Amino acid sequence: MSCPIKPTLSYMFMSGELSNLSCHETKRTLTLQDQDFINNSNLTPPLVSPPVSIDEIDSVRKGRHSEGLQKYTEAHEEERCFSIIFKGRRRNLDLIATSMEEARQWVNGLEKIISNMKKLNCQQTSEHWIFNCMRKADKNKDNKMTLKELKHFLRQINIEVDDMYAEVLFAKCDKSNSGTLEGPEIKHFYDLLIYREEINVIYGKYATTGEQMSVKDLLNFLLNEQREVATMEDAVRLIERYELDDSAKQKNHMTKDGFLMYLHHEEGSIFNPAHKEVFQDMSQPINHYFISSSHNTYLMEDQLKGPSSTEAYIKALMKSCRCVELDCWDGAQGEPIIYHGHTLTSKVLFKDVIKAIKENAFKTSEYPVILSLENHCTLEQQKLMAKHMISILGSALLTSPLEDQMPTAFPSPQELKGRFIVKGKRLNKLDAVFSNTSPGVEEDCVSEEDEAAETNNSKTDSNGQKKSKIKLAKQLSDLVIYCKSVHFSGFEHAEDNQAFYEMSSFKESKAVNLAETAVNAFIHHNMTKLSRIYPAGSRTDSSNYNPVPLWNAGCQIGTVDLLTELGRLLLNGIPYSYANQSQNNSKGPWEDVISAQQLPKLNKDKCKSIVDPLVKVEIYGVPADTCSKETRSIENNGFKPMWNETFQFDIQVPELALVRFLVEDYDSTSHNDLIGQFCLPLTSLQNGYRHVPLLTKHGDVIPSAGLFVHLMLLDAK
């Protein structure tokens, strides 16, 4: 049954919010703005949920791609369906319009709003956020602000002030003595609010030409503070791009507003914009690169009773994940399914997952995607798995080596662009592909993947190793080319017996132990082979380990969402050169954590809940480089706290070092809560005064929030 609704767009465009209702009869969530429809409908009155900000929307997807729409709509309704995809782990909003044209208007309208929001620079995003908070504080919608509304507004933007200070601030702005702020008075209040002393000090130091920055002053700043290789032409270009005052621009001057605009764009970001695109050599063998991986990719929540969904695969791939996991089991209707076996997690069809992977694999990165199979299926359903992958993935599926003869090493990411690589068990050696004399067996028993075997009640051999067998179909076996799963029996055994394409998966505890006790052997092993590390089964909340110590041992395939932003950067490959590890190219960075801007409230339902922020600066790298330092906490101020604290770090191996900024809400009685974080390679830092974006634990950018730091990376003498 479908709900013939007529959604209207005007409310959404005007307020930037989305009010939604749940239609129980169809088990679909629909946006209903037509009051006549609601009044005249025979449907059970739906439940109203709170408005949703456009900032919380990640994207809009046309058609019947979600599981809900595929289940509750017909194929002929394809052009009328679309889904709103939210950030984080929030479920999608699936909708069906009354006509194809209406659906088109919704999708185009939402995409335009989202696109415009993403194009806002940091300053515009900040203003948008502040004005939105002001609108919410204006309870009676009279475009005026009373003292009570001003106090409410300050709490909205994460500032706790005493009544006396609020009264002084209000009186300072209430020039008309009317008891309310309006028009220019609100503008004056806003100017006082966004005043940043640290920017004024920096600007004043270099603005030596009539209290403005001349092009020469700006070049001086770029050379001496930002440590950039800049020319006079570069300074002129920045003025032309960011200066808003036409009279200043005509004189090749930059005002304070233009200077702040420059600092809030990518030229003023901590992350080197040149590293946003692929900048490494991508022609080395694929085992020379770190590969962003996902564990139990199909799960939206925990590993015991959470939902399985194709959406989880889409979100992982859109965050540049290059290795996804498929736990495959026999389905009741003859079709293989994916879910976390022996748990209460829901199930999703294998073929639907493959379709979702096909459609989304290369939207963010063109480099290869590894399909890591954990196979529990019977022979008949294994044959269906192979059939679905071949028919759905087509020529993109790698079904034979790229070479015309037996390869001796991995191809490069460059050579594997746009291809799918199956990781799993194989019945025979890879050279059978080039042999005309041996047809190979149609099926045989092989050992299960180590991870799967750990969860089974299986027998053990004479060495205490678990033995778990499963019959493997030749059709599925033949799809495994460069990633044949084998049991790890020690580094010596692997060197003597394993081909380069035979790879092992390690439980995190075992991998960490090997990285601590046999790191040189581990590195030597990974110089020619691939290693995959998966989280311990005790992590039922789907949390992940810190991958850096294992990367230092050369392990390529690991889960990285502990350092979420790095997952995006790994699409570049970040090659790991084992032969050229340097221990004497040490650098000593020092960092000033100056301030933060517009940190979010952690409990939005409690207006009086104000954060007490502190900043941790963490270095991840070789053991000698790994350390953490933190600022003091600032009480009751998440809007623009200031620390002005300096830290110094001595780094021995900068090529392997990562820097993580972690902002937390201090709590004296329990663990601090995460406010936001950002992580990047040390070699991708820009020197000088820089803004640091902040991300949620799910990797979504927090609009308008950020840190302001000053850092310098110096060669040690």
pLDDT in tens, 359-404: 999 998 899 999 999 999 999 999 999 999 999 999 999 999 999 8
**Chain centre distance of CA 257:** 31
Residue 300 confidence (pLDDT): 57
Q: Dihedral, CA atoms, 346, 352, 353, 355, nearest 10 degrees?
A: -170
Q: What angle do CA 75, 77, 79 make, to 5 degrees?
A: 110
DSSP string, 22-49: EEGGGTEEE----HHHHHH--SPPPEE-
Q: Where in the chain is the domain with CATH 1.10.238.10?
A: 123-194, 197-268
**pLDDT tier at 71, thresholds 50, 70, 90:** confident
> Which has the closest alpha carbon to 134: 119, 156, 115?
156
Summarised one tens digit per residue, pLDDT across range 165-194 is 888 889 999 999 999 998 889 888 888 888
Query: Cβ atoms within 10 A of the Cβ of 567, count?
Result: 23
The CATH code belonging to domain 286-424+474-574 is 3.20.20.190
The CATH code belonging to domain 123-194 is 1.10.238.10
Dist CA 383 CA 394 (whole Å): 16
Q: How far is CA 528 from CA 104, 187, 515, in A?
A: 51, 64, 17
Between helices 232-242 and 215-224, what is the axis angle to 10°?
110
Dist CA 320 CA 147 (whole Å): 48
The CATH code belonging to domain 197-268 is 1.10.238.10
Helix, strand, coil abundance in the chain, percent, nearest 5: 35, 25, 40
Residue 332 confidence (pLDDT): 85
Q: Where in the chain is the domain with CATH 3.20.20.190?
A: 286-424+474-574
The label of the residue with tokens 């507004």 reads: 153
DSSP string, 169-214: HHHHH-TT-SSSB-THHHHHHHHHHH--HHHHHHHHHH--BTTBEE
Residue 7 confidence (pLDDT): 38
* Active site members: 295, 340
Residue 269 confidence (pLDDT): 92
Backbone angles phi, psi at 449, to 5 degrees: -55, 140
Q: How far is CA 328 from CA 447, 452, 457, in A?
A: 16, 11, 18
Contact yes or no for 660/618 (Cβ under 8 A): yes
Could you give the strand order of the β-sheet that contains 21-23, starting from the edge strand earlier in sequence?
28-30, 21-23, 47-48
**pLDDT tier at 600, thresholds 50, 70, 90:** confident
**pLDDT tier at 608, thresholds 50, 70, 90:** low
What is the pLDDT of the chain when averaged over all its residues?
81
Q: How far is CA 227 from CA 217, 234, 585, 688, in A?
A: 14, 13, 19, 7
Residue 83 in this model has a pLDDT that exceeds 80: yes
Contact yes or no for 216/173 (Cβ under 8 A): no
Residue 439 confidence (pLDDT): 52
Give the count of alpha carbons within 13 A of 111, CB side only: 11
Exposed / middle / buried, residue 461 (Cβ in 10 Å: 0-12, 13-18, 19+): exposed
Summarised one tens digit per residue, pLDDT across range 639-648 is 899 999 999 9
Contact yes or no for 105/577 (Cβ under 8 A): no
Backbone angles phi, psi at 271, to 5 degrees: -90, 125
Query: Which class is domain 587-715?
Result: mainly beta
Fold of 10-119: PH-domain like (2.30.29)
Exposed / middle / buried, residue 520 (Cβ in 10 Å: 0-12, 13-18, 19+): exposed
Dist CA 523 CA 107 (whole Å): 50
Residue 540 in this model has a pLDDT that exceeds 70: no
Contact yes or no for 645/593 (Cβ under 8 A): yes
Summarised one tens digit per residue, pLDDT across range 476-532 is 999 999 999 999 999 999 999 999 999 999 998 999 999 999 999 999 999 999 999
Question: What is the mean pLDDT of the segment spanning 30-38?
Answer: 31
Q: How far is CA 80 from CA 11, 51, 69, 115, 501, in A?
A: 21, 24, 11, 22, 47
**pLDDT tier at 73, thresholds 50, 70, 90:** confident
Contact yes or no for 475/387 (Cβ under 8 A): yes
Residue 265 in this model has a pLDDT that exceeds 80: yes
Q: What percent of the chain has pLDDT over 70?
A: 79
Question: What is the mean pLDDT of the segment spanning 674-690?
Answer: 92
Q: Where in the chain is the domain with CATH 2.30.29.30?
A: 10-119
Question: What is the mean pLDDT of the segment spanning 461-474?
Answer: 68
Residue 28 in this model has a pLDDT that exceeds 80: no
Query: In 501-597, which ranges are E strands?
Result: 502-507, 531-534, 557-559, 587-597
Measured distance between the N- and C-terminal CA atoms of the chain, rounded to whole angstroms:
74
User: Reduced to 3 states, what is the DSSP secondary structure of residue 145?
Assistant: strand
